[in-house]
Structure 1
């Protein structure tokens, strides 16, 4: 029996190469420091109770597709600039749907999109599903900045968009004003837009976060992707948002309504209620700096090279000479019962990421205590810091 024909777009999707490691880790009950599923901060008890009340009160049908008006108003107030919640903000089913709505709104088949690597794999898959063609620009350790000449070379007549992540997943690098200026100049030159994933903007450690909304030269050609998944530890609630000027938002809302008809109504109402009752709700309950410092110390303790990232919830750690990230990840599962993500997962050419592993630190301190105890057995004289 022949298999049914599937689309060329689906055949071009990046496969989740983490699955094999996850299966091995699950068999050995390894502690997960690989995925970004939040173990910290804690979800707001106020929001959880409000969600229960909303469900019991019958808020179980569709919300307006653009999103709960009070939730949009609150989110708009947390963003820089003067965002109009009625015409410039849409509540989405997590950041993933916001990303998909953004790419489907601006790309035609064959359009090119600049993506920085190391990358979050959904950036590539969102472009591919929209019929676009990724053009990769390498960012290199230790600063994880792009080379301006390489970026200029990636642009051309077919360039329609640039996808950025700031703070970056997986490196933690945050774009500075000079980098933003170069991106903006090229977008104006080639009539491209920026899709900026800023879901980790609430977690910054070395310098202030600059949003795409704060880059005047990108006005009218920017789409901001945001989410409550990491900042408020409600990744299962699937509450994200897409912010753009009114013209782009009108188009993105058509795509959004087609994709999903709207985000979960009772959960939108719950967040709106909690935000109205607690003036501090906008900020994460835990800024993760202590966890960041703890994990940097832990990975240094087993001979990896690590520095405090600009922001986010990951440390991109360099592995010692004589090994590679994939081998080290499997060794840590077997010998320490700890799972980290090989750097190869974040590059189109796996060998480009062989020198690194990504370690998540959005975990409780008690969880990190246990992981540290397991890693202590791995601290042998064979491993010395570079």
Structure 2
């Protein structure tokens, strides 16, 4: 952590090892949220965050990001908490571990062995892995652009692409995904599931958030053979 991310943490007290990021997030919410606490989330956001917060008794408060670059525009917000993995001050990490033990007890032994191999691998391995994912990302981005999708930025820390449907497309995100499965055998995720701020039945409000039905999420964490086969379809 110190070498790669500049984080000075005590591995014995400041880290809670969980079964992946989703469980780490859930355990963190149960550990630190009191009933009625408000938790700030960006919108769009990962679909499980809202459920975890509500189950812990918290109240999600969404900060809408401005499409197509998904930034805060002119708005200014302070003290936004973003949790990637369960590294926290010892008092919080201890609480997270207590929740983790009650939820999943421990990560499966094969996963722990794999994590040990990863953590002891040389930095050259991670650089090679980064280049491999970068190549996959560039391939899927170029493919989507060729068929008319609109991409306003390349992902830099994820293996997902959040692409806007072609301007000429009259289908909603859900309708497009259904047709994509039928006609090309390709499975993607409708973008509407990642938005939460359009809860109003007011027609003007719905019009303002109509862009939420125009995005599709594609994953490029696939083998090269799988990615290349998409182009044939």
TM-score category of the 2 structures, normalised to the smaller one: 0.7 to 0.9
Tell me if 1:109 matches 2:67. no
Q: What's the counterpart of residue 130 of structure 1?
A: 56
More moved, 341-350 vs 359-368: 341-350
Tell me if 1:93 matches 2:12. no
Q: What's the counterpart of residue 184 of structure 2?
A: 336
Q: What's the counterpart of residue 245 of structure 1?
A: 89
Q: How many residues align?
A: 218
What whole-Å deviation, never above 9, does each CA across 1:147-197 have from its counterpart, x for those lacking one? 453xxxxxxxxxxxxxxxxxxxxxxxxxxxxxxxx55xx32xxxxx72422
> Do 1:115 and 1:137's aligned partners in 2 also have CA atoms closer than 8 Å?
yes
* Residues 203-218 of structure 1 aligned to structure 2 (within 5 Å): none
What whole-Å deviation, never above 9, does each CA across 1:330-377 have from its counterpart, x for those lacking one? 221222221221111111248552111111112222211100111xxx
- Relative to total residues, which structure has the larger helix share, 1 or 2? 2
Q: What's the counterpart of residue 219 of structure 2?
A: 360
Higher relative contact order, structure no. (Cα contacts within 8 Å, ≥ 6 residues apart): 1
Distance of 1:279 and 1:250 partners within structure 2: 30
Distance of 2:34 and 2:232 partners within structure 1: 51
Instruction: Return 5+ residue gaps in structure 1 as ranges.
Output: 1-74, 150-181, 188-192, 198-224, 226-241, 375-386
> Do 1:78 and 1:282's aligned partners in 2 also have CA atoms closer than 8 Å?
no
**Partner SS for 1:317:** strand
**Partner SS for 1:345:** helix
Q: What's the counterpart of residue 120 of structure 2?
A: 276
Structure 1 residue 283, shift from structure 2 partner? 5.1
Tell me if 1:299 matches 2:156. no
> Do 1:76 and 1:85's aligned partners in 2 also have CA atoms closer than 8 Å?
no
Tell me if 1:369 matches 2:228. yes
Q: What's the counterpart of residue 30 of structure 1?
A: none
1:291/1:326 Cα in 2 relative to 1: closer, same or farther (>3 Å)? Answer: same
Superposition TM-score, scaled by structure 2 size: 0.82
The counterpart of 2:161, out of the listed 307, 315, 330, is 315
The RMSD of aligned alpha carbons is 2.4
Distance of 1:282 and 1:124 partners within structure 2: 32
The counterpart of 2:71, out of the listed 145, 151, 156, is 145
1:277/1:118 Cα in 2 relative to 1: closer, same or farther (>3 Å)? Answer: closer
1:87/1:284 Cα in 2 relative to 1: closer, same or farther (>3 Å)? Answer: farther
Tell me if 1:255 matches 2:99. yes
Distance of 2:121 and 2:211 partners within structure 1: 48
Distance of 1:274 and 1:303 partners within structure 2: 38
Superposition TM-score, scaled by structure 1 size: 0.52
Distance of 1:120 and 1:344 partners within structure 2: 11
- Relative to total residues, which structure has the larger strand share, 1 or 2? 1
